[in-house]
């Protein structure tokens, strides 16, 4: 009897790809405010996606990124030239992967797990990111929320992923460093691994908790296989 494969849905921004990978570029005009600017840019990018999903006023994630950059720069009283803005936004399409990503994806694939990239970003943008990072080969496919014009953690986004992957919640795992993403997946019945990437973040004290918590993507395969 054929056993259906276990499906892994990897969040991209913040989990595989370092969203603060442009700090050195920001330092050119933001100087000692570069790190804080990068943090605010990311914070507003996510906030705008949440608000647009709730308002049912969808626009591509790339537009949320542009608007968030404008907000962050205005907040820090920084004026970008058109060429600087274009350089930063181009840089966002070629952000680096975290150091543990390639090894973690390789071990998961070699363990017989089926890997997908699952992102708020447009499929073409994600394709470019994964290609640039040298990790596209590990993924069966890319699933973008753009296909249903909403954003994580809308439950319809996770149901859409399972439909695309031809999978059910009992054999589908989300892997994400974003607590809101983990919570969204768990609320729809999926299993979820929280990748605790930086500092001492606290997970939301809700009724939906991670199936497992790890500090390094190379732990994913062992966690999933042990739980099967």
- List the catalytic residues: 11
Candidates 161, 149, 144, 152; CA nearest to 184 is 152
Which residues in 100-138 are b (16+ Cβ under 10 Å) and which e? Answer: bbbebbbbbbeeebbbbbbbbbbbebbbebbeebebeeb
Q: Burial-class residue 85 by CB neighbours within 10 Å (0-12, 13-18, 19+).
A: middle
Closest CA to 183 of 157, 147, 150: 157
């Amino acid at each position: 009897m054929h056993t259906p494969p276990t499906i892994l849905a990897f969040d991209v921004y913040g989990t595989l790809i370092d969203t603060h990978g442009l700090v050195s570029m920001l330092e050119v005009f933001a100087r000692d405010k570069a790190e804080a600017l990068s943090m605010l840019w990311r914070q507003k990018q996510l906030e705008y996606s949440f608000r647009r999903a709730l308002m049912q006023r969808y626009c591509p994630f790339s537009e949320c990124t542009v608007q968030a950059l404008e907000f962050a720069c205005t907040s820090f009283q920084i004026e970008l030239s058109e060429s600087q803005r274009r350089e930063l936004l181009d840089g966002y399409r070629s952000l680096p992967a975290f150091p543990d990503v390639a090894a973690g994806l390789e071990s998961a694939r070699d363990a017989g797990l089926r890997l997908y990239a699952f992102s708020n970003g447009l499929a073409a943008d994600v394709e470019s990111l994964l290609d640039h990072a040298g990790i596209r080969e590990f993924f069966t496919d890319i699933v973008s929320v753009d296909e249903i014009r909403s954003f994580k953690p809308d439950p319809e986004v996770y149901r859409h992923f399972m439909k695309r992957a031809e999978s059910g919640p009992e054999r589908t795992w989300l892997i994400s460093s974003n607590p809101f993403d983990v919570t969204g997946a768990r609320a729809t019945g999926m299993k979820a691994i929280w990748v605790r990437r930086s500092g001492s973040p606290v997970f939301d004290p809700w009724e939906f908790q991670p199936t497992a918590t790890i500090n390094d993507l190379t732990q994913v395969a062992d966690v999933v296989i042990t739980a099967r």
